Structure 1
Amino acid sequence: MSKPHEEVWNNCLSIIKDNVSHQSFKTWFEPIKPLNQKGSTLTIQVPSQFFYEWLEEHYITLLKKTIKKELGPNGSLEYSIIMENNYKNNNKSLSVKVPTTNKSAVKNPSVSMPYEVGGNKGIKNPFIIPGLKKVVVESQLNPNYSFENFVEGECNRLARSAGYAVASKPGGTAFNPLLIYGGVGLGKTHLAHAIGIEIKNNHPNKTVLYVSSEKFTQQFIDSVRNNTQNDFVHFYQMIDVLIIDDVQFFAGKEKTQDVFFHIFNHLHQTGKQLVLTADKPPVEMQGIEQRLLSRFKWGLSADLQVPSLETRIAILQKKMYTEGIELPNEVVEYLAYSITSNIRELEGALISLIAQSSLNKKSITLDLAKEMIDKFVKNTAREVSIDYIQKVVCDYFNLPIELLKSKTRKREVVQARQIAMFFAKQMTKSSLANIGAHCGGKDHATVLHACKTVNNLIDTDKRFRNYIDDLEKKISIQ
């Protein structure tokens, strides 16, 4: 006897809740309403086309597994999109059967395996499409992570240029291996996928494979358990372009490092291309064997740095263009000034803002952005940036920010510059030298003098004290 549709969906939600963050669950799953169930098909209602597309792009795998668990192997999902237009409900129903086509697969050509075991059986590998006579290796590349969607700035120019060179001539440049390193959320994975996609565009006959270090390790463990290590090694030796994400996770795994060492040697010696990503340069990696580290240094190590304000604004504008949405410039600037260290968080804040607007039927204003982003930023333990402080101070005194950073000694500019230094010292963890560098190349002694001057004026000048109180309210994230 089939379960009522509400009970089926509640069971699905209990599974989903354990597999996504609290914020994601509230934003993307709580608003969904179960409408009905016919046989093994469950229909759910979502509030917008954008909402449906976001679920399809980011949570389709989780939804597939959950629906199949509840409704069996033939379980399927239908979306009913309710869009309000002049107060009339137009139901737009989209049927999405489970399992769906994997949108992220970028096809490689079929290849004959150079090595066979067990008579006519080909080498076992986790990326083949079963039932085909020739082996087809799924590249595991995400077509959304292309060079076209990767915003260039000073923070990533070297890595991006090297990636283009590799994509034009894989295995034929001095950048082999190409090691891209940097902190969380700065675009390492995006750039790695972009290189693979560009290689597929330029050299469609080459076999490209993207794999995370965790998946590589798990496959190796499975091969040991199943006594198929030779299959594992030979499979990876046939790849033309191997992209390994987060190689720092090989640390401490001696056997995995050993097998990767031999695969690396074979690919490099036969002119194949290796692209690696890591959270730090080889000289700082702990727990990785020296013979591997020395090979990581054979090619080019290119870092991704924290994006500048201009790059952050460009990233948001690119995301808006891709999603087909428009936001007021003041909202875009507020986002860029508020979230400074992580592109992933920056884009996440933008999507959360759009979701809030869509769900609550509110237009996106600076006030709504502040209300929502302030909560988002608090959850990410954000620190006010020097750039943001300077913008608020310049807006308050109606000064161009270039003037604040210039060497002019005009009284009103000097005072604004000193106030910006004062708040930067109070509200950020930046060194005095760093604060001075942001304020027109001043030294630490100038910053200390500015802070002392501001404190004296707060004690002696009522009007100046009101300036500081007003600015503190505007800068503080309440």
Structure 2
Amino acid sequence: MSVTAQSVWDNCLEFIKDNIQPQAYKTWFEPIIAVKLTDNALSVQVPSKFFYEWLEEHYVKILKVSLTKELGETAKLVYIIKMENTYGNKQPFTEKIPSSNRSSVKSQDVDIPLNNKSPELRNPFVIPGIRNVKIESQLNPNYSFENFLEGDSNRLARSAGLAVSAKPGGTSFNPLLIFGGVGLGKTHLAHAIGVDIKDKYPEKTVLYISAEKFTQQYIDAVKKNNRNDFIHFYQIIDVLIIDDVQFFSGKTGTQDVFFHIFNHLHQNGKQVILTSDKAPVDMQDIEQRLLSRFKWGLSAELQTPDFETRVSILKNKLYRDGVEMPEDIVEYVAKNIKTNVRELEGAIISLIAQSSFNKKEITIDLARVIVEKFVKNTKREVSIDYIQKIVSDYFQMDIDTLQSKTRKRHIVQARQLAMFFAKKFTKASLASIGSQIGKRDHATVLHACKTVDNLSSTDKQFRKYVEDITKKLSV
């Protein structure tokens, strides 16, 4: 059988596949195409210069071993980088990159498109017909660290944000993924980091964008055949902040383009900040190669603020608005609105407005009326504490018993139901649910949810438990 570039490369891949992680193989070796075999030199095509550099940095030894096995000690590896020419020239310019010093493979001749001229880059934020080369940050200066109050529920995320803003791209928090439920301050914190970086490093290009807008820009770029300009625009950003990254779910084209942008930014020491309503482990329909990159840095959760933090948030809001309010009324509002910061501030604004428009003194009675109306008219997110109370009351046990280490069947089932409903009715991560229901890990919560699903379909009595508790939680 004749030896061809493809047969040599297939044999190399067999060896490589047995010696590295499956995900790494899929990400870094499946896209490579064998091109030709000439004088013991195997030429392979890779998608980008970044791709070539990554292989050289991380996989040069295994490439040398596999190639030497096939072609002997005189084996050479030649990389060919084929990129679409961005600016309309039919034939790309090329240059030869000398052999890397760190590489043991004998030679790397790399064909790379050169754009020696710097044509005007299309800025997807510029309105057609209006010339504006400057990239505006799209940040809201009203969102700052000063008005993002620290508490147990957000300390890790806030501290990580401060570290990133002090040294963007220079910490291990890259990317920084901030996740949590609605109204807990993800967008606020993301803006605060960006605003602080702009203050400290005016020369850096900082850009905030929602995942939805990013997706729409990408769709427009594809329609206008500007895909490469779109990628290059985002590759020049120093600090990229993408809000609600879970919006990429199921959008394979957007995920693919963001994957390449992310790789370029990360490789070049640029900072990426993401927000999401879920932890990476809970995200659905996001490619594994992207999820693995989300986990490269730090995932920091914003949880529901405790009573003391809620009081501090209200006092800070009143101070900023120049309004005085009796302590007992502030505490009443904080005790009765627990779900998130947005609802908390909304209630206090409503209270101030009612008092001002109707010229009424702010009293506990007025606060009670406003809070009751506000809570009734606001879609309530059921808390994990509330779920545990409903489930433990239903099974006539206290919460300590529900959370205990006991393996008694009826207690284990009650605990599993609490975890199941926490996942169903809240946006808390599996890890957060586990830590709040008996200090378990996310794998235990995942197992509990599967068990409840299975028992619901096979056990009539258990199905009744699920239906009864669902009704109680849906009231």
* Equivalent residue number for residue 264 of structure 1: 262
The answer on 1:201 being equivalent to 2:199 is yes
The amino acid across from 1:244 in the alignment is: I
* Equivalent residue number for residue 373 of structure 2: 375
Compared with structure 1, are the counterparts of its residues 141 and 383 closer, same or farther at alpha carbon in structure 2 (3 Å cutoff)?
closer
The amino acid across from 1:432 in the alignment is: D
| Distance in structure 2 (CA, Å) of the matches to 1:270 and 1:276 | 18
**Contact residue 212 and residue 247 of structure 2 kept, 8 A:** yes
3-state SS of paired residue (1:302): strand
The amino acid across from 2:398 in the alignment is: L
Once the two structures are TM-superposed, the CA of residue 379 in structure 1 deviates from its matched residue by 1.5
The answer on 1:238 being equivalent to 2:236 is yes
The answer on 1:354 being equivalent to 2:352 is yes
Once the two structures are TM-superposed, the CA of residue 131 in structure 1 deviates from its matched residue by 7.9
| Distance in structure 2 (CA, Å) of the matches to 1:149 and 1:362 | 29
Once the two structures are TM-superposed, the CA of residue 341 in structure 1 deviates from its matched residue by 1.5
Alignment of 1:391-406 (within 5 A): none
The amino acid across from 2:336 in the alignment is: S
**Contact residue 339 and residue 380 of structure 2 kept, 8 A:** no
Once the two structures are TM-superposed, the CA of residue 117 in structure 1 deviates from its matched residue by 7.5
Once the two structures are TM-superposed, the CA of residue 122 in structure 1 deviates from its matched residue by 2.3
**Contact residue 209 and residue 241 of structure 1 kept, 8 A:** yes
| Distance in structure 2 (CA, Å) of the matches to 1:384 and 1:249 | 23
Compared with structure 1, are the counterparts of its residues 139 and 116 closer, same or farther at alpha carbon in structure 2 (3 Å cutoff)?
farther
| Distance in structure 1 (CA, Å) of the matches to 2:302 and 2:214 | 24
3-state SS of paired residue (1:148): coil
**Residue in structure 2 matching 1:366, options 364, 367, 371:** 364
Compared with structure 1, are the counterparts of its residues 324 and 291 closer, same or farther at alpha carbon in structure 2 (3 Å cutoff)?
same
3-state SS of paired residue (1:136): coil
The amino acid across from 1:252 in the alignment is: G
User: What's the CA shift string for 1:372-403, capped at 9, x where partnerless?
Assistant: 11111112255999999xxxxxxxxxxxxxxx
| Distance in structure 1 (CA, Å) of the matches to 2:209 and 2:396 | 37
The amino acid across from 1:225 in the alignment is: K
User: TM-score, normalised to structure 1's length?
Assistant: 0.56
Once the two structures are TM-superposed, the CA of residue 129 in structure 1 deviates from its matched residue by 7.7
Alignment of 1:36-435 (within 5 A): 122-128=120-126, 135-382=133-380, 432-433=398-399
| Distance in structure 2 (CA, Å) of the matches to 1:257 and 1:383 | 30
Compared with structure 1, are the counterparts of its residues 359 and 431 closer, same or farther at alpha carbon in structure 2 (3 Å cutoff)?
farther
The amino acid across from 1:122 in the alignment is: E
User: What's the CA shift string for 1:296-337, capped at 9, x where partnerless?
Assistant: 000011111111000000000111111111111111111100
RMSD: 3.3
The amino acid across from 2:327 in the alignment is: N
Once the two structures are TM-superposed, the CA of residue 273 in structure 1 deviates from its matched residue by 0.2
Gaps of 5+ in 1: 1-114, 389-420, 438-443, 446-478
User: What's the CA shift string for 1:173-208, capped at 9, x where partnerless?
Assistant: 001000111111111111000100111111111010
* Equivalent residue number for residue 25 of structure 1: none
3-state SS of paired residue (2:179): strand
**Contact residue 185 and residue 342 of structure 1 kept, 8 A:** yes
User: What's the CA shift string for 1:88-119, capped at 9, x where partnerless?
Assistant: xxxxxxxxxxxxxxxxxxxxxxxxxxx97899
Compared with structure 1, are the counterparts of its residues 203 and 434 closer, same or farther at alpha carbon in structure 2 (3 Å cutoff)?
farther
Compared with structure 1, are the counterparts of its residues 324 and 387 closer, same or farther at alpha carbon in structure 2 (3 Å cutoff)?
farther
Once the two structures are TM-superposed, the CA of residue 430 in structure 1 deviates from its matched residue by 12
Compared with structure 1, are the counterparts of its residues 346 and 429 closer, same or farther at alpha carbon in structure 2 (3 Å cutoff)?
farther
3-state SS of paired residue (1:352): helix
**Contact residue 339 and residue 383 of structure 2 kept, 8 A:** no
Once the two structures are TM-superposed, the CA of residue 126 in structure 1 deviates from its matched residue by 3.2
User: TM-score, normalised to structure 2's length?
Assistant: 0.56
**Contact residue 243 and residue 275 of structure 1 kept, 8 A:** yes
Gaps of 5+ in 2: 1-85, 90-116, 404-409, 412-475
Compared with structure 1, are the counterparts of its residues 422 and 186 closer, same or farther at alpha carbon in structure 2 (3 Å cutoff)?
closer
The amino acid across from 1:144 in the alignment is: N
* Equivalent residue number for residue 397 of structure 1: none
Compared with structure 1, are the counterparts of its residues 387 and 313 closer, same or farther at alpha carbon in structure 2 (3 Å cutoff)?
farther
**Contact residue 386 and residue 424 of structure 1 kept, 8 A:** no
The amino acid across from 2:193 in the alignment is: I
| Distance in structure 2 (CA, Å) of the matches to 1:430 and 1:377 | 28
| Distance in structure 1 (CA, Å) of the matches to 2:389 and 2:278 | 33
| Distance in structure 1 (CA, Å) of the matches to 2:390 and 2:291 | 43
- With 292-301 and 124-133 compared, the bigger mean Cα shift is at 124-133
* Equivalent residue number for residue 81 of structure 1: none
User: What's the CA shift string for 1:222-267, capped at 9, x where partnerless?
Assistant: 1111111111111101100000001111000000000000000000
| Distance in structure 2 (CA, Å) of the matches to 1:299 and 1:377 | 37
**Contact residue 180 and residue 303 of structure 1 kept, 8 A:** yes
| Distance in structure 2 (CA, Å) of the matches to 1:227 and 1:340 | 49
Compared with structure 1, are the counterparts of its residues 285 and 384 closer, same or farther at alpha carbon in structure 2 (3 Å cutoff)?
closer
Once the two structures are TM-superposed, the CA of residue 124 in structure 1 deviates from its matched residue by 2.2
| Distance in structure 1 (CA, Å) of the matches to 2:276 and 2:320 | 28
Compared with structure 1, are the counterparts of its residues 305 and 325 closer, same or farther at alpha carbon in structure 2 (3 Å cutoff)?
same
**Contact residue 165 and residue 193 of structure 2 kept, 8 A:** yes
3-state SS of paired residue (2:146): helix
| Distance in structure 2 (CA, Å) of the matches to 1:218 and 1:430 | 52
Once the two structures are TM-superposed, the CA of residue 136 in structure 1 deviates from its matched residue by 1.0
Percent of paired sites with the same residue: 66
Compared with structure 1, are the counterparts of its residues 377 and 431 closer, same or farther at alpha carbon in structure 2 (3 Å cutoff)?
farther
The amino acid across from 1:170 in the alignment is: P
**Contact residue 212 and residue 244 of structure 1 kept, 8 A:** yes
